[in-house]
Chain A
Amino acid sequence: MSDPLPAFPPAPGAPFDPAAVSSLMNGRGHGGFVGLRYLAHGDDWIEVALPWRADLVGVPETGVLASGPIITLLDNATSMSVWVRSGAFRPQATLDLRLDYVRAAIPGKTVIARAECYRLTRSAAFVRGLAHDGDPADPVAHAAGVFMAMETA
């Protein structure tokens, strides 16, 4: 018998281990559909990968990824950066998310998001992130957003 998988989503306030939870979070639902994969994390940041896939393309003539999967990548990565910083899972909803599409991602290359939560309050979490396809100094997209904590009974 293998160890039981951790419950998903974790209970509010449960310790958050991104390495353990990511495979559950990204192995299903929309994150699973676009193929998100956990790479690494620190005290207040996390890296998530989006491998290139033909059915995620937005410009068939060039093979450039659509921006929808980039939105999903940065939404997920910034969202998880909040729980990485707080060390505990807290249900939250995206209030807003702004993306600057700095340049087109190179076709065939995995896009990597590095996201951080730079301010956490009782009700809100302020986040930012960059996406690149190999060189963090030459980003594909930049994101800034706010998450609101859900009221829990």
Chain B
Amino acid sequence: MTTDITAEDIWEFLEDVKDPEVPVLTVVDLGVVREVNHIENDHWQIIITPTYSGCPAMQVIEEDIKKRLEEEGLQIDVKLVLHPAWTTDWISEKGRVKLEEYGIAPPQDEADKSVLFGEKTIVPCPKCKSKNTKLVSQFGSTACKAHYQCLDCQEPFDYFKCLK
């Protein structure tokens, strides 16, 4: 049986699949879905790439993608590729806005030269927008996040750290 489902439809269905650890982002916002390929009839291949090597969410993401698309009566192969390596640049604009609203500071490029190793980043507080924040730990609640604190509103917050 062939249906008239297009690749665009598939991308739209994938907007329903959330990152299990940052449920405000979809797998499309996050940039982990790299390609949607038609194989034949109702058979499609989805190519995904991991954010971090050890990210425990990848397996769940793979299963969730399959489950969502099988609901549409499709046969799905999910393939994981490492190349090219994922970068935070692939998080969509929409995704960045959603992250900030959710209380997670999105990845920043602005470097703070005053600190050791000269590469730390100025991360505005997602709550009060102050730039007077400090890095508490480079490693936060998940592999992709660092732990910051706002020195004005005192709120601790997660920062989705830059990976390039």
Do A and B pair up? The answer is no
Q: Which residues of A contact B (CB under 8 A)?
A: none
